[in-house]
C-alpha cells in the first residue's frame, strides 16, 4: 500500500526551511544518503544536494548537504550505494502529488523524511559516480552507510540470483515474498491483489519474520549444540535462542528494506525473545504494545503511515480471533479428524473476518471505500501465502544464493507449479474482483462499529446478525447520502494527473464517461491507479459506460490500462491512430479480450449521442474515409467532444493545435462553449485567436503544471484567455468540479467558485 494516501496523509506537517524551485536542466553534484532501489521505471535514491553549475535551485537553507531530494533515474539500471558522490544532468522540481480527493500525495511522507524536492535525471548516460569514498561525509552519514551498505548489497545480490535462476514471472513473485522487492512483480498481479483486498500477502510482515526466525533459530541452536557440545552448560539454551531470534529478526528486517510492518514485528520478536530468556511467560499483546510505543517514541510520524496502522490493526484482529477460536475449540469436541478439520476451517474464517473488521476504519479513512471481497479472498489467500508461497519463496531464494546444480534446476522446475494459483489470479481482471463500498458519512457508523464487535463474547448467531444489521444500516445511510445526487444535470470532474488529461463526466441520465486517464511515458499506467481510480471509487463508480481516448499519447492514454483492469467498461471510443505505447496497447488488448464494443468514427458512423436530456457530439476528426486525418499528427487528430444540455455547452479539445482549430472554425463547428478544456495543456501551438473568438468561453480549464519539463500554460496563452474574459483555472491547484444544465453553470475548485446564470445572463467568480 502506498504511503501518503488519503486523509491520514493530510495531517499537518511542519514545513521544511527550504523551498525547491523549478529550474531548467543543469549539472548537479550530490551524495547518496541511502542505497538506491530498483523500480520498474529505473533507479530511485535519496540524495543530499552539494552544488550545481547554475544558480542555487532552492530558497531557504544554504547549509552544505542540508537539502535532500528524491533522485529518479529512469534509464539507469546500475546501483548507487550509500555515501557515493554522483554527478547528474537533470531537472529539479518541487514535491508534487495529485490534487484530487483520496489520490496519492507523496508530500506529507517526504516532508517527514526531510525530502524537499525531486531531481529527474535525463537519460541513462547522464549519471556518473565520481567519488565512492563514503566515509568522507561526516560521522552520521558514515555510521548510517556502515549499516546500510551490507544489507543493500545483500538484497541486490539475492534478487539478482533469483532472477538468474528462476523464470522471470516467478522470480518477480519470489523476490516480492522473500525480499520485499516488488520492482519486477507483475503489475497485473498487483492490480488484482489490490482489487480483492489481499495485497498484504506480499508485504513483509510478522509472518515472514516468524518463519525466518524459527528456521534460523532451530538450525543455529542445533548447529551450535553439535559443534560446541559444552556451550549450553556455560550459557542457557534460552539465552542463545533469544540472541539468535533478536539478531535474525532485525537482520531480516534490514535486508527487506525495513518497512514499518517488519520493524513492528522485529520489536515484538525481540520482546518475546528477551522475556522468555529470563524464564518468564511472554504475552504477545504486551509485546505488541511495546512495539507500538517504541516505534512512536523513535518516530512520532509513524502514526501517519497507513501501512503501519494496517499492520497493527490486523495483528490486533488476529489476536482477538485467536482468543475466540481457542474458546470455541474448548467448548466443542475436536478429538476426531472431522472435528479438527472443522475447527481449522472455522479458525481461518474467523481470522480473515477479524482482520478485515479491525482494519476497516483505517482502510476507509485512507481510501474512502472498502473492498467487500476482502474477507472471502483472504480466507483462501492468507493460508496459501503463509503455508505455501512464502516458505517456498524463502527456500527458493536460499537455493538460488548457494546452488547452481541439480537442486537449483529442480527448484526452478517446481516453482511455477507452486505459484500457479497466483499466475491464474493474475490472468483475471481486477474488475472481476473489485466490489467496492464507497463509504460516506452515513456509513461511518457501520465501519467504526466493526472493531467493537470483535470484543463480543463469541462467534454466535447473534453476533453474525449484529454484523449484518450494522452493514445494512451503513448501506442505508449510504443510499440516503446519495439519494439527492440523482438530478437532471451534467457533472464534470477535471482531474489533476500532472502534465496530462483526465476528465470524468456523469451525464444527465446517470451514465458515466471518462475521457483520458493521464500518464507518463513508461509509467505502466501508474497515474490511473494513483490519481484517477481513487476518485472513481470515492464517487461510487464501478462501471464506466463510455471510455474515451482522445489520442494515443502517453500523457492521455497510459493510465487507461489501470482503469480498464479495475472497472467494467461499456464501450470504447478512439480514432485508432498509432503508434501506441505499450500501456495503451495493453489496455486495448484487455478490452478486446473482454469484447468491449469500439467506436472509431469513420465516415458513416453516428456522431451525436443522447444521454437523457444531455447530448454528446464528436466534432473532430471529420472521419472522411479513415477515422482520422492521415496528413495530420496525433495531436491534431484528437477527438473533440461537445457535451451539451440545452443551450449550455462543454468543449473537450484533447491536444488539437492550429491546424485542427482552423478546420473547426472553417466548418462552423467551433461554436460558443461555456466551459472549455484548454487545448494541448495551454501550449503556444494551440488556442489561436480565431478559434478562441469563435468559441468565446466563459471558463477555461487547463490540465498542466507550471514547473514541469514544459511549463504550461504558456504566458502568451494565458494572456489570450484573459483578453477573452475567461478565467483560467489549472488542475494542479486541485480537482475542478463543474455542474451545468439549461439554466447555467456552477464550478468549484478548492475555496473558489464560478457561477453562470442564464436567466439573468450574468456570470461571477468568487473565492
- Is the predicted pLDDT of residue 10 greater than 50, yes or no? no
Question: What is the average per-residue pLDDT within 468-478?
Answer: 47
Confidence of residue 170 (pLDDT cuts 50, 70, 90): very high
CA distance 671 to 695: 5
Cell of 616: 454528446
- What's the pTM? 0.73
Confidence of residue 735 (pLDDT cuts 50, 70, 90): very high
Please indicate whether residue 249 or residue 210 has the higher confidence score (pLDDT).
249
Classify residue 760 by its DSSP letter: T
CA distance 276 to 741: 71
Cell 489496455 maps to which residue?
587
- Is the predicted pLDDT of residue 64 greater than 50, yes or no? no
- Is the predicted pLDDT of residue 34 greater than 60, yes or no? yes
Question: What is the average per-residue pLDDT within 657-664?
Answer: 93
Question: What is the average per-residue pLDDT within 153-160?
Answer: 86
**Cβ pair 370, 471 in contact under 8 A:** no
What share of the chain in percent tops pLDDT 70?
Answer: 71
What is the helix (H) or strand (E) element at residue 359, kind and residue range?
helix 337-367
Question: What is the average per-residue pLDDT within 152-175?
Answer: 88
The pLDDT of residue 20: 54
CA distance 563 to 652: 20
The pLDDT of residue 347: 66
**Cβ pair 499, 555 in contact under 8 A:** yes
The pLDDT of residue 271: 82
**Cβ pair 186, 426 in contact under 8 A:** yes
**Cβ pair 547, 520 in contact under 8 A:** no
Closest C-alpha among 202, 225, 275, 280 to residue 245:
275
The pLDDT of residue 59: 55
Please indicate whether residue 169 or residue 143 has the higher confidence score (pLDDT).
169
For the ranges 46-50, 227-231, 504-508, which has the lowest average pLDDT?
227-231
CA distance 501 to 519: 8
- In degrees, rounded to 5, the angle at the alpha carbon of residue 37 between the alpha carbons of residues 32 and 39 is 135
Please indicate whether residue 350 or residue 450 has the higher confidence score (pLDDT).
350
Classify residue 22 by its DSSP letter: P
The pLDDT of residue 759: 56
Q: Residues 6 or more apart from 484 whose CB is under 8 A from it?
A: none
Question: What is the average per-residue pLDDT within 524-534?
Answer: 86
The pLDDT of residue 57: 59
Question: What is the average per-residue pLDDT within 125-147?
Answer: 66
Question: What is the average per-residue pLDDT within 111-138?
Answer: 70
The pLDDT of residue 611: 94
**Cβ pair 437, 400 in contact under 8 A:** no
- Is the predicted pLDDT of residue 38 greater than 80, yes or no? no
For the ranges 443-457, 519-533, 734-748, which has the lowest average pLDDT?
443-457
**Cβ pair 86, 127 in contact under 8 A:** yes
Closest C-alpha among 300, 279, 194 to residue 236:
279
Task: Identify which of 111-125, 139-153, 194-208, 336-350 has the greatest average pLDDT.
Answer: 194-208
Confidence of residue 129 (pLDDT cuts 50, 70, 90): confident
The pLDDT of residue 234: 55
CB atoms inside a 10 Å sphere around CB 760 = 8
Confidence of residue 329 (pLDDT cuts 50, 70, 90): low
**Cβ pair 27, 87 in contact under 8 A:** yes
Q: Are strands 608-611 and 614-620 parallel, antiparallel or unpaired?
A: antiparallel
Tell how many helices (H) and how many strands (E) occur in the chain. 25, 28
**Cβ pair 754, 764 in contact under 8 A:** yes
Facing residues of 131 across strands? 85
CA distance 503 to 506: 10
The pLDDT of residue 641: 95
The pLDDT of residue 95: 75
Cell 538468474 maps to which residue?
164
CA distance 441 to 46: 39
The pLDDT of residue 486: 47
Confidence of residue 1 (pLDDT cuts 50, 70, 90): very low
- Is the predicted pLDDT of residue 567 greater than 80, yes or no? yes
**Cβ pair 549, 502 in contact under 8 A:** no
Classify residue 628 by its DSSP letter: S
Question: What is the average per-residue pLDDT within 731-754?
Answer: 92
The pLDDT of residue 551: 94
Q: Rounded to an integer, what is the distance from CA 225 to the centroid of its chain?
A: 48
Q: How far is residue 668 from each of residues 545, 663, 664, 672, 694, measured CA to CA in Å?
A: 30, 9, 6, 10, 9
DSSP string, 65-98: T--EEEEEETT--S---TT-EEEEEEEEEE----
Mean pLDDT of the chain: 78
E strand map for 285-414:
369-371
Question: What is the average per-residue pLDDT within 658-684?
Answer: 93
Cell of 263: 520493524
CB atoms inside a 10 Å sphere around CB 19 = 15
The pLDDT of residue 738: 96
Q: Read off the pLDDT of residues 697-723 as tens digits, 9 standing for 90 and up.
A: 999 999 988 876 677 899 899 999 999
Confidence of residue 727 (pLDDT cuts 50, 70, 90): very high
The answer to whether the peptide bond before residue 349 is cis (omega within 30 degrees of 0) is no
The pLDDT of residue 459: 46
Q: Read off the pLDDT of residues 579-625 as tens digits, 9 standing for 90 and up.
A: 899 899 999 998 998 899 999 887 666 788 999 999 999 998 876 55
- Coil, helix or strand at residue 437: strand
- Is the predicted pLDDT of residue 629 greater than 90, yes or no? no
- Is the predicted pLDDT of residue 241 greater than 50, yes or no? yes
Closest C-alpha among 575, 559, 553, 560 to residue 639:
575
Amino acid at each position: 500500500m502506498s504511503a501518503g494516501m488519503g486523509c491520514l496523509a493530510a495531517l499537518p506537517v511542519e514545513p521544511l526551511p527550504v523551498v525547491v524551485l523549478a529550474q531548467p536542466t543543469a549539472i548537479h553534484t550530490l551524495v547518496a544518503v541511502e542505497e538506491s532501489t530498483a523500480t520498474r521505471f529505473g533507479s530511485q535514491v535519496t540524495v543530499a544536494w552539494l552544488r550545481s553549475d547554475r544558480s542555487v535551485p532552492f530558497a531557504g537553507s544554504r547549509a552544505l548537504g542540508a537539502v535532500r531530494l528524491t533522485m529518479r533515474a529512469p534509464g539507469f539500471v546500475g546501483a548507487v550505494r550509500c555515501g557515493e558522490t554522483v554527478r547528474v544532468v537533470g531537472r529539479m522540481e518541487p514535491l508534487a502529488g495529485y490534487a484530487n480527493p483520496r489520490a496519492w500525495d507523496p508530500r506529507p511522507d517526504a516532508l517527514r523524511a526531510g525530502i524537499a524536492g525531486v531531481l529527474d535525471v535525463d537519460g541513462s548516460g547522464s549519471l556518473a559516480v565520481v567519488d565512492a569514498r563514503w566515509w568522507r561525509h561526516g560521522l552520521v552519514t558514515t555510521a548510517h552507510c556502515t549499516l546500510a551498505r551490507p544489507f543493500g548489497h545483500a538484497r541486490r545480490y539475492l534478487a539478482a540470483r533469483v532472477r538468474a535462476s528462476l523464470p522471470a514471472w516467478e522470480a518477480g513473485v519470489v523476490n516480492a515474498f522473500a525480499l520485499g522487492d516488488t520492482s519486477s512483480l507483475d503489475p497485473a498481479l498487483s492490480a488484482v491483489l489490490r482489487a480483492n483486498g489481499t495485497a498484504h500477502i506480499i508485504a513483509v510482515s510478522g509472518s515472514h519474520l516468524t518463519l525466518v526466525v524459527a528456521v534460523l533459530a532451530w538450525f543455529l541452536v542445533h548447529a551450535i549444540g553439535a559443534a560446541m557440545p559444552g556451550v549450553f552448560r556455560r550459557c542457557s539454551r534460552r539465552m542463545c535462542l533469544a540472541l539468535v531470534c533478536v539478531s535474525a529478526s532485525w537482520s531480516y528486517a534490514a535486508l527487506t528494506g525495513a518497512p514499518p510492518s517488519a520493524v513492528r514485528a522485529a520489536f515484538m520478536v525481540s520482546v518475546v525473545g528477551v522475556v522468555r530468556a529470563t524464564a518468564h511467560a511472554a504475552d504477545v499483546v504486551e509485546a505488541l504494545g511495546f512495539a507500538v510505543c517504541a516505534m512512536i517514541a523513535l518516530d512520532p510520524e509513524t502514526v501517519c503511515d497507513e501501512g503501519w496502522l494496517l499492520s497493527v490493526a490486523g495483528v490486533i484482529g488476529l489476536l482477538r480471533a485467536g482468543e475466540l477460536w481457542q474458546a470455541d475449540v474448548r467448548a466443542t469436541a475436536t478429538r476426531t479428524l472431522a472435528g479438527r478439520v472443522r475447527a481449522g476451517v472455522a479458525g481461518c474464517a474467523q481470522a480473515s473476518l477479524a482482520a478485515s473488521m479491525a482494519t476497516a476504519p483505517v482502510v476507509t479513512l485512507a481510501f474512502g471505500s472498502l473492498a467487500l471481497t476482502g474477507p472471502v479472498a483472504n480466507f483462501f489467500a492468507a493460508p496459501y501465502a503463509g503455508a505455501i508461497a512464502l516458505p517456498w519463496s524463502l527456500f527458493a531464494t536460499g537455493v538460488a544464493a548457494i546452488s547452481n546444480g541439480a537442486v537449483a534446476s529442480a527448484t526452478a522446475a517446481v516453482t511455477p507449479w507452486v505459484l500457479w494459483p497466483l499466475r491464474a489470479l493474475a490472468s483475471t481482471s481486477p474488475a472481476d474482483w473489485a466490489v467496492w463500498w464507497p463509504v460516506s458519512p452515513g456509513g461511518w457508523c457501520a465501519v467504526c462499529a466493526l472493531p467493537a464487535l470483535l470484543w463480543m463474547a463469541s462467534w454466535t448467531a447473534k453476533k453474525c446478525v449484529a454484523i449484518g444489521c450494522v452493514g445494512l444500516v451503513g448501506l442505508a445511510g449510504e443510499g440516503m447520502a446519495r439519494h439527492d445526487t440523482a438530478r437532471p444535470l451534467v457533472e464534470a470532474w477535471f482531474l489533476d494527473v500532472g502534465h496530462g488529461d483526465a476528465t470524468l463526466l456523469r451525464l444527465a441520465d446517470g451514465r458515466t464517461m471518462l475521457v483520458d486517464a493521464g500518464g507518463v511515458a513508461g509509467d505502466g499506467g501508474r497515474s490511473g491507479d494513483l490519481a484517477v481510480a481513487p476518485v472513481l471509487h470515492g464517487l461510487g463508480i464501478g462501471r464506466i459506460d463510455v471510455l474515451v481516448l482522445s489520442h494515443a499519447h502517453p500523457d492521455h492514454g497510459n493510465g487507461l490500462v489501470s482503469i480498464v483492469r479495475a472497472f467494467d467498461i461499456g464501450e470504447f471510443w478512439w480514432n485508432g491512430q498509432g503508434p501506441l505505447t505499450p500501456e495503451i496497447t495493453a489496455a486495448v488488448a484487455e478490452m478486446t479480450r473482454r469484447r468491449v464494443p469500439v467506436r472509431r468514427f469513420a465516415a458513416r458512423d453516428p456522431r451525436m449521442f443522447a444521454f437523457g436530456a444531455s447530448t454528446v457530439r464528436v466534432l473532430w476528426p471529420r472521419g472522411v474515409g479513415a477515422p482520422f486525418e492521415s496528413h495530420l499528427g496525433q495531436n491534431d487528430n484528437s477527438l473533440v467532444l461537445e457535451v451539451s444540455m440545452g443551450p449550455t455547452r462543454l468543449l473537450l479539445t484533447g491536444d488539437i493545435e492550429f491546424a485542427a482549430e482552423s478546420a473547426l472554425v472553417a466548418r462552423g463547428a467551433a461554436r460558443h462553449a461555456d466551459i472549455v478544456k484548454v487545448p494541448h495543456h495551454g501550449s503556444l501551438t494551440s488556442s489561436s485567436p480565431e478559434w478562441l473568438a469563435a468559441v468565446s468561453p466563459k471558463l477555461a480549464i487547463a490540465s498542466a503544471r507550471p514547473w514541469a519539463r514544459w511549463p504550461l500554460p504558456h504566458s502568451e496563452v494565458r494572456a489570450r484567455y484573459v483578453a477573452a474574459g475567461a478565467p483560467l483555472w489549472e488542475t494542479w491547484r486541485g480537482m475542478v468540479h463543474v455542474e451545468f444544465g439549461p439554466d447555467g453553470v456552477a464550478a468549484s475548485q478548492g475555496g473558489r467558485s464560478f457561477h453562470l446564470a442564464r436567466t439573468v445572463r450574468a456570470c461571477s467568480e468568487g473565492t
